[in-house]
Copies of this chain bind each other. A is one copy, B any other.
């Protein structure tokens, strides 16, 4: 049985995602609601090692729910990969009396947290904050909904100019291992084709798909390419396709880091608010070394092996539907 928890600390780590501030706010206010002290650690594991830690109150997190980024900042820490780094981090949090941790981030964040838990036995819990939606054990990760809407908004703008000029556009979106953003922004953007890491599509297949579009007198086309697609980058694919369709006016846009920012959608704010509260309640209920998730509308606490061993699922029905609709 865990000893009582009195002082919780929260931090963000890895790539930032819209909604992280809403999650921080929820962790802080839930801790206060349950009469616990709550600390914020700046710059993730880096700040834990540098002792960059402050106590927070309910007002510290006022007027942040709508902001992109993370007020606690984020960083990648090489030092935390070393035993000495982690020992220094542990001493810093111990000296503040911190007896439980909530980390907000992706699988890398959870990996660090798991190592820390194994070494020092402190109750820890992870909240999935990453735009990629590539984690098993939860239907949605914080930031994914906002990022996909940001992509779709950009695709809508690009469609305006594509339609005005009968152009073929290749739009590269985030997703090293996951096609989630690509599939859903592709359906929502009315893309002629979607290229993702989880499915092979040869240039021949792509050209066949686009050519059918040509026959049916479609005047312009958009292709969404996840950055981790197996046929190369959007730039590479566009170059190959242009060789086959020299008469097309082909353009490439790489959306890049603007996908990470912006005011979070209601969905990400509510998801982050729930997960932040569940994380604190989970800790107080004795859960440790787990990641919060919401699956089929139920709260779940996934252990480390579940998150790491299973690949994320791909929405195969969405893929199927994208093909029906791009006729």
* Chain B residues, Cβ within 8 Å of A158: 257-258, 261
A25 near B325 with CB under 8 A, answer yes
B58 near A161 with CB under 8 A, answer no
- Among the 9-residue stretches A87-95, A116-124, A147-155, the one with 4 or more Cβ atoms under 8 Å from chain B is A147-155
Q: With A16-B165, A163-B69 in contact, do A188 and B297 touch (Cβ < 8 Å)?
A: no
B262 near A156 with CB under 8 A, answer yes
B157 near A29 with CB under 8 A, answer no
Interface membership of A7, Cβ < 8 A: no
Interface membership of A208, Cβ < 8 A: no
B68 near A160 with CB under 8 A, answer yes
* Chain B residues, Cβ within 8 Å of A253: 256-258
Interface membership of A321, Cβ < 8 A: yes
* Chain B residues, Cβ within 8 Å of A16: 160-161, 164-165
Closest partner residue, chain B, to A217 (CB atom): B59
Interface residues of A (CB under 8 A from B): 12, 15-16, 18, 20, 22, 25-26, 29-30, 32-33, 58-59, 62-63, 65-70, 73-75, 139, 145, 148-152, 154, 156-161, 163-166, 169, 184-185, 187-190, 216-218, 251-263, 265-267, 269-270, 273-274, 277, 296-297, 317-318, 321, 324-325, 327
* Chain B residues, Cβ within 8 Å of A68: 157, 160-161
B164 near A70 with CB under 8 A, answer yes
Contact of A251 among B164, B217, B257, B296 (CB under 8 A): B257
B149 near A273 with CB under 8 A, answer no
Tell me the minimal C-beta distance from A196 to chain B in angstroms.
15
Q: How far is the CA of A179 from the CA of B270 in the complex (A)?
A: 15
Q: How far is the CA of A151 from the CA of B267 in the complex (A)?
A: 12
Q: How far is the CA of A297 from the CA of B156 in the complex (A)?
A: 27
B269 near A165 with CB under 8 A, answer no
Contact of A256 among B58, B156, B184, B254 (CB under 8 A): B254
